[in-house]
Structures are given as C-alpha cells and as structure tokens.
Chain A
Amino acid sequence: MIHQSDEGPGPATPGDAIKIRARGINVFYGAKQALFDVSLDVPEKSVTALIGPSGCGKSTFLRCINRMNDTIAGTRVEGRVELDGEDVNDRSIDPVVLRARVGMVFQKPNPFPKTIYENVAYGPRIHGIATTKPELDAIVEKSLKRAGLWSEVADRLQQPGTGLSGGQQQRLVIARAIAVSPEVILMDEPCSALDPIATARIEELIDELRNQYCIVIVTHSMAQAARVSQKTAFFHMGKLVEAGATGDIFTNPRDGRTQDYITGRFG
C-alpha cells in the first residue's frame, strides 16, 4: 500500500531540503506488525532524533532506510522510503549500493577483529574506492580525523580494533562508516553502551558531522535528543505520534503521550 501524500506529518525545520521521505511504512516480523503507517521527512544536513519507549519501532524504522530489515528472515516492509526522491525498496535499487550511501552505527560497538587500519579501510576496499595504497592511507587518515580518533590511534594503526576502549571503538566504527563517504548516517542508540565522558565525545562528533551528513539517531536519552538533534520524532507502539523541530517537541508537545514521555511519566 502506497500512501501518496506530499504533506509531511509535522512541520520540517524551515529552510532545509528533505533528504529522506518516508510514506505509509508498515513493517511485519512474521505475523507481528511492528510499524503502522509511519510517514516522516528527514531533512538534509541536520540531526533527526527518533525517541520513544523500548519496542516502539524506532529501530525498525531506522533499519527501513538502509534495508537492513532484509537481513532478518520473515520481515516484510510496505510503503515508500525515498532517498533523494528515489524509492529504496524499488527493484532497481541494489541494497549493497544503497548501504554504501547510507551508513549505519550500531548500539554495541562492533569493530571487526582486524587492525584499526583494516577496519577503516574495509569499506573503501570492498567498494573499490581507493586503488593505491597512498589513496587508502589518505582515506583512513581523513576518516579517523573526522571521527576524532586520529590523535589517539595514529601510532598504533596496526593494532587490533577490538583492543580499544568502548568509546574509541564506537568512534572507530563511525570512522569506518564515513570512510565510504555516505550521504546518510544512521545511528542506533550509539551511546547506550558508553560512559558519560565517551558519550559526550560522540555527541560532539555528531554535532560536527551534521555539517556534511544527514544523520538519523535513535536514542533512549531525552537529554541527548535535545542536545544533538534539530528535529525529533516520537514513536509509540509502532506508530509515529509526533514529529517536529526539537525545540518545539520538548517545550510544546502537541500530543498528550509525547508530553507524558518527555516528562518521564512512562517509558
């Protein structure tokens, strides 16, 4: 079922182009429906936060954008997710190409059991972005610098990435994601396994990356959503309840459930 309305639910932050346009998304895990008719606009070059209680479908929505739901057997996605006006679920779209454009950072840092260098070089290698060693070196250095990790690992690039601390691992994974120059970065609770100091570093990083990428972040922390995002969408029981400029959502929510959630009455 394709819901062809051009009217976004909730006002997008003014003056921003729309990068991702989702319309009428339903997701089923087997017989269980996880998302109900979700429509959301994600603006370019800004951070959009998805908040809501556990199991509300915000991660499921995130995984629709780079088609990671394809990797779970028995999952069915209905509706339209447009990236720059192109439906990512279209038959002509190769998920492999799509995922090179839409990077993803997971809840738990998942560096590959390889060296720091090889972790970052992984994407450029498989996509054939760099052909010579100096090119690859340059990409690795640039990505690590942009992820704010270069100064900490420059002298030990050949050591295993799994030997870093949790916060460093998460920044390594972000470096790995931006090494293939994606347009969108999806972050699924990127700080939930980190301590407050490491969290602060990641949040700083997200704020810097906002200038170049469209970032969608799922978070359980209302404070984090308020700090890093420009737009916030509140999910509840598989439905998108409310979406709008972060300032509006937190100071002046229109829906009672949003109000209850952000004031800590449930969730």
Chain B
Amino acid sequence: MLTWVALLALALFSGATFFAARRKALASVGGRPVGLHSLPGYYGGYVAIWVAIPAALVLLAAAGFGGRLEAGLLRATPAPSVQALDAQQRDVFFDDAVSLSEGRQASESVYEGALKSALDSAVARARHLKSQITYGALASALALACAGAGFAFPRIRPDFRARNRVEGWIAGLFILCSVTAVLTTVGIVGSLIWESWRFFQSVSPIDFLFGMDWDPQIAMRADQYASSGAFGAVPLFIGTFLIMIIAMLVAAPVGLFSAIYLSEYASPLARAVVKPLLEILAGVPTVVYGFFAALTVGPLFREFFNGIGALLIGGGLDGLGQYLSQVQNQMALVAGAVMGVMLIPFVSSLSDDIINAVPQSLRDGSLAMGATRSETVKKVVLPAALPGIMAALLLAVSRAVGETMIVTMAAGLQAKATINPLDTVTTVTVQIVTLLTGDQEFDSPKTLAAFGLGLTLFAVTLTLNIIALRIVQKYREQYD
C-alpha cells in the first residue's frame, strides 16, 4: 500500500520536474525553441526519466523482494532455543513469527518457555526489520529521485543532446521487452528439456518413441493392479497423425478453393462480405469447436453410421453392419472434421495473401495470350503461388498437431494404434492434458511423461514451422 502511494507521489514529482526542465530549457534560449538542440519536451523527458526510473526500481525491488530479505535477516540470528529445533520445525517457527508480526493467523504449533519468549522477540524483530526495509526503501527512493534531478537538471543547456539521450532510454525499453519474450521462450524450452531428461532417466527414449503400448497409470501402492505403467508413444503419434490427416483433407481443399474464389473470382462486394465472415470463423474459441464436435457433430455422425449399419445387418455385408451399428460418439473422424473446419479460415486467409502476391502482370500476360481465366489460374497463378501455398499448409499441419481442445472433447482417451477413422483414438496433446490435470506428484514417470510428449510435439511443430518459413522466404525473394 505504502509502495503504491510512494509510486504515485514519484510519478507526480517526476511530472513536475518534466515541466520545470522544459521551462528551463526554453528559458535558456529566450523562449525560442529553434535555439535548442532538441525539442523542449525532450529536455523535460530527460530529467523526468532520471528522477523516476532509479527511484521506481528501488521501490519495486523493495515490494518484490522485501519479504524475502526480511525472512533471511530474521533467520540469520536465531535464538539458542530455536537452533535446537530441527530444520522443519525451525521453518514453521520463522513462518509463524512473520505471520504474527503482520497480524495474520499463525500455525497450530505450541511454543512454550524459552521458545515462547524467542517467538515474542522474533515477532518484535520481524516488525522492526519490516519497517526498516520499508522506510529504508522510501528514503533511498526519495534520495535517488532528488539525486536524479540534481544530476540531470544542471545539464540542461541549449546544446545538450536531450533527444539522443531520451531515445537511448526508449531503445533500452524496447530491447528489454524483446529480451523478455526471448528469455521466456528459452526458459520454457529449457524446462521442457530438463524435465524430459528426468523422464528419460526412468523410461528409455527408444521405448518411448517406438513402443506400441501406452498405459501411463502407475499404481500408487504396490498392491494395486498395473503397477508398472507403459510409455510407448507410437499409438499417440498414430492418433495425432490420423486426426491431422482428416483435418487437412477437410481444410486444404476447402480453404484453398475459397482462397482462389476470393482472390480471382469474387466481385469486390462478395469479397467484402465473405472475407470478414471467414475471419469470424477464425475467431471462434477452440473450446466452442470442441463442444460443437462432442455434442453436435459426434451424435450426428454416430446416428448416420448406426443407420447405415442397421441397413446392412443381415445382408451380404453383415459384419460391416454389425460394426457400424456400434460406432460411438467419440471417433477420429469427428475430431478431424471439426478441426478441419477450424483450419479453413487459417488456410484460406494465408493462401489468399499468397495468391494476391502473384504479380498482376503475370495474369495480364496470360489473359493477353488468349487464356481463359480458369487457364490463367490453373497454369500461371497457382504454379507461381505453389511454394507459398505449401508453406501455408505446413503451418496448418503444425496447428493441427498442436491443437488440444477439440481432440480432448471429441477424440477419446483410449490409446489405440489404429488408422480406422471411425474408431476412438487419442493424441499427444490429449494425453498431456490428462497426465497433468488433477493432483499430481512431480517425480513419477507418469507426470514426467507429459514433458517427454511435449518435447516431441515441440520438435515436430518447430521443424514444420521452420520449413514453412524457409519456403515462404524463398518464395518472397522470387518477386522482389
């Protein structure tokens, strides 16, 4: 609370120095901004930055790490009676001291005699430390703000290059933001690799990548059934691949043809209506597609196949009829088809951009040869756009492989190595979800298997994306 008030005060103070510095800069050239190296606002900004940034960093550091500093200092000087406690009890003791000092509920531990008085003195010391840290931070923030003003204010002269300095700070801010994104990615990949490595300590990568048996349920107690667990991921890869193929069979032709229609045949009016509609389709959350698949498409498909099965029973195709009449809601076909619908706008919008990038001069050249519009599209425009379209399809594949929600709700959970689209299958992403949801212990292979799957998935999608981007780059160079 105090920190926020202090930050607000700091903002006001730095705002005031902005105007003061601006005024001083203007005054130094008699009110004519032409005499200044930079625009007056840059002088104000320069001083305001020096006032605000260092002081704000101190305040934020105190807010973020003050508690840890307090606990560390508290533990540094334990009373003898506390030293006698074992490590776990000591942790509880200090946590209680901090909690009590802040007026919160302590644990249910009972402290008596020497411990009781040690606790009382620890609580008092915690309060003392806390106020020391808080006021220390406030005082040093105030000192830094004043020092910043004292440093920056006198430097304002007409020939001072304030713009370059301020732009330097701003460039620093941009670098910080991009570094944050990069470091986050590195961190995610690092943790993925580290946890996967731990997983591969207990399960051999060969068994994982080539094993045909997926049954990650490890017994909690030795007397339970299925105590070993099996981590052969091939059924998951097959399931993922099957659903991806079905999805692409839907998305590739529909998306590509609608892109051709939009870029080559649609009147401006039709384009103005159809393109936004397709983009709305792209904005539907995947979970909505998921329950659409599970609650609408699944039963529809099941009834359809059951109906056909009922017709076939007793006839020459009795076996097939029996099978079809028992098809369930959850099948690869449903998940794949709905995922394909989800990918249509993705494919069509990317392909539309790529087809539009084919120079008009090529179309003119072909039309002027007496080619019809369809010949022009088939023989000139599409071949020219083909590399880009391939890249768009690869990006769509990588999305299909990584898609989670639709398959979780519509594909099923049974790991079966089948390529029958009417069967229930499971995918890599679905298994990651089931392995990690609910209460988990983070040292069993069952949980760690999720990281092994995640790493595999990441490797596949990364490769696909790199290939796709390479193709797109090469294609761009062709016309520049």
Contact = CB atoms under 8 A, between A and B. Distances in A.
Q: A and B: partners?
A: yes
Contact of B384 (A71, A100, A103, A112): A112
Given A71-B364, A73-B268, A122-B379, A110 B359 contact: yes
Interface in B350-384: 359, 361-372, 375, 379-380, 383-384
B478 interface: yes
Given A110-B359, A112-B380, A112-B384, A127 B370 contact: yes
A106 B362 CA distance: 10
Nearest to A74: B268
A68 B367 contact: yes
Nearest to B369: A123
B368 A99 contact: yes
B126 to A, nearest CB: 75
Contacts of A176: 365, 369
Contacts of A108: 361
A110 B364 contact: yes
Given A68-B364, A126-B375, A114 B369 contact: no
B369 to A, nearest CB: 5
Interface string A233-261: 00000000000000000000000000000
Interface string A94-131: 00111111011010101111100000001100110000
A97 B372 CA distance: 10
A173 B370 contact: no
A66 interface: yes
B268, B367, B379, B380: residue with the most chain A Cβ atoms closer than 10 Å: B367
A225 interface: no
A162 interface: yes
Contacts of B375: 126
B369 A103 contact: yes
A177 interface: yes
B384 A96 contact: no
A126 B369 CA distance: 9
Interface residues of A, number: 28
A100 B370 CA distance: 5
Contacts of B368: 66, 68, 99, 103-104, 106, 177
A162 B365 contact: no
Main secondary structure on B side of the interface with A = helix
Contacts of B268: 73
Given A110-B364, A112-B384, A126-B375, A96 B370 contact: yes
A98 B371 CA distance: 11
Contacts of B369: 99-100, 103, 122-123, 126, 176-177, 180
Contact of B370 (A71, A110, A111, A123): A123
B381 to A, nearest CB: 10
Contact of B365 (A97, A100, A112, A126): A112
Given A114-B383, A126-B379, A71 B367 contact: yes
Contacts of B267: 73
A162 B369 CA distance: 18
A97 B383 CA distance: 24
Contacts of B363: 71
Nearest to B364: A106
A108 B365 CA distance: 10
Contact of B371 (A66, A96, A106): A96
A15 B370 CA distance: 31
A180 B370 contact: yes
A222 B200 CA distance: 78
Contacts of B379: 112, 122, 126
B468 to A, nearest CB: 20
B360 to A, nearest CB: 9
A139 to B, nearest CB: 14
A68 to B, nearest CB: 6
A139 B426 CA distance: 58
Contacts of A122: 366, 369, 371, 379
A112 B372 contact: no
A176 B383 CA distance: 18
A59 to B, nearest CB: 12
Contacts of A101: 370
Contacts of A106: 361, 364-365, 368
Interface in B4-29: none
A126 B374 CA distance: 11
A127 B375 CA distance: 11
Contact of A97 (B364, B367, B370, B380): B370
A125 B219 CA distance: 70
A212 to B, nearest CB: 18
Given A68-B367, A73-B268, A110 B372 contact: no
Interface of A: 66, 68, 71, 73, 96-101, 103-104, 106, 108, 110-114, 122-123, 126-127, 162, 173, 176-177, 180
13 contacts: A66-B368, A96-B370, A96-B371, A106-B365, A110-B361, A111-B365, A112-B362, A113-B478, A122-B379, A126-B369, A126-B372, A127-B370, A176-B365
Given A100-B370, A110-B359, A112-B379, 9 more contacts: A71-B364, A73-B268, A106-B365, A112-B384, A113-B383, A122-B371, A126-B375, A127-B370, A180-B369
